[in-house]
A and B are shown apart, each in its own frame.
Chain A
Amino acid sequence: MNYHWHWGVFFSSTGIGKEIYLDWFITGLGWTIAISLTSWLIALVLGTALGVLRSLPNRGLARIASAYVTLFRNVPLLVQLFIWYFLIPDWLPDRAQIWLKQDLSPSTSAFLSVVLCLGLFTAARVCEQVRTGIQALPRGQLDAASALGLNLSNAYHHVLLPQAFRIIIPPMTSEFLNVFKNSSVASLIGLMELLAQTKQTAEFTANLFEAFTLATLIYFVLNMGLMYFMRWLERKVRVPGLIALETK
């Protein structure tokens, strides 16, 4: 079996302008980070709203949020992505379609599909974490807030959510890391993020071991780094005396 190892491949020219293969990885990582952060923002806002809805005494609202979670958790991510990318644009009004398909570059419209898909997909998971966090708080917290004259929205804003978010830092970290990893599905609709760039490098240079090793290393280092950072953050913002935190 002949395989030509060549670790310097990342610094050799791609033949396109002055680019070297490492540039492809950097561009890819840029897309990966952009997708992850944007999707996470959507997931965080929507997921928190849904999580609050699920914890409210109002049955109807809780049921809507729970239906959302059931729907988005039981359909595979790739199916959702295909629906966002292939189907939904066709259902938009004509002007929006023209804007999406002609005015925007293919990468940008793919980016929009991926970000909406991942954001809404992850929101279902964030919702569950937020709800768990709120329900983990002692019942007395809400009662005490009411006794102080806070209405429900103020109680959530100033009392329940700030504590709940501290409790759920560890599961939320893994949700964010999941977004980061899941962003690789964007390669399947032609967005040149990290995995797609890796595949392209492997195909162009035939140095597939080197290319995939570098990609793996990037994912691994970023993941571990973020995990340790979040552990540090968790200790930093820990609420002293909160039982739910001490048992962790």
Chain B
Amino acid sequence: MDFSSIVAALPNLWQGLFLTLKLMLLAVAGGIVIGTLLALARLSNNRLLSFLAGFYVNYFRSIPLLLVITWFYFIVPFMIGWITGTMHPVGAFVSSLIAFMMFEAAYYCEIVRAGIQSISRGQVNAAYALGMTYGQAMRFIILPQAFRKMTPLLLQQSIILFQDTSLVYAVGLMDFLNSARSSGDIVGQLPEFLLFAGAAYFVISFVASYFVKRLQMRFAVS
């Protein structure tokens, strides 16, 4: 084992890590927004809306993420073509980002839904009694409390998402794992580079989980 050539490849690996983090942060942001909207739809009194949101969640939760990434890589250009009338190559990053957002939204939806349901009924009633509309009650009363409660779970899911971003290897994106693999291939030291990548993922996820756990304990007390 000779880890010295990793130093020379660090700029490359850093670029890969940057892409991984960019993909993750955008996917988390998009996923939480779509997931929250889905959760509101699922909990709404409109039967059709709640059925559709429920179907969306069940659908994405029962197919593999890798299938979604691969599928979107092929169909997103077609979709955009049908909408705008002209074929636009969007590239693997955009199609993967859309895939992650829509896929993770299903998981975030369940977390948000549980969070909203954990807020006592009296809070809603009190908000209505004060004359708030549904939207106001959600915005000022329910969601702020729910998000505070579910922050640890949302972060936990985001750490899982961080690990799952490595699957973009399937569509040839140069994320952290893929750049480690290709750098290792070039210098003929694949084992060292893969172990290094594994160690890096481990350290990042482990440290992040540790902080999430501490946050959870702090939230549990207050």
Contact = CB atoms under 8 A, between A and B. Distances in A.
A, B co-complexed: yes
A232 interface: no
A11 interface: no
Question: Which of under 10, 10 to 19, 20 to 34, or 35 or more describes the interface residues of B?
Answer: 35 or more
A211 to B, nearest CB: 9
A207 to B, nearest CB: 11
Given A76-B164, A78-B166, A220-B59, A71 B67 contact: no
Contact of A74 (B75, B181, B195, B201): B201
Interface stretch (B40-48, B112-120, B202-210): B202-210
Nearest to B71: A212
B153 to A, nearest CB: 15
Contacts, number: 102
B205 A74 contact: yes
A195 B74 contact: no
A185 interface: yes
A50 B197 CA distance: 26
A24 B22 CA distance: 37
Interface string B62-80: 1111110011001100100
A14 interface: no
Q: Is the interface of A mostly helix, strand, loop or mixed?
A: helix
Contacts of A71: 202
Interface residues of A, number: 39
Contacts of B202: 71, 74-75
Interface string A55-94: 0000000000000001101111111101100110010000
A181 B63 contact: yes
B82 interface: yes
Contacts of A181: 62-65
Given A79-B198, A209-B75, A185 B66 contact: yes
What 4 pairs across the A-B complex have the smallest Cβ distances?
A: A223-B62, A181-B64, A76-B163, A74-B205
10 contacts: A74-B201, A75-B198, A76-B166, A76-B201, A77-B163, A78-B169, A86-B191, A181-B62, A187-B66, A209-B75
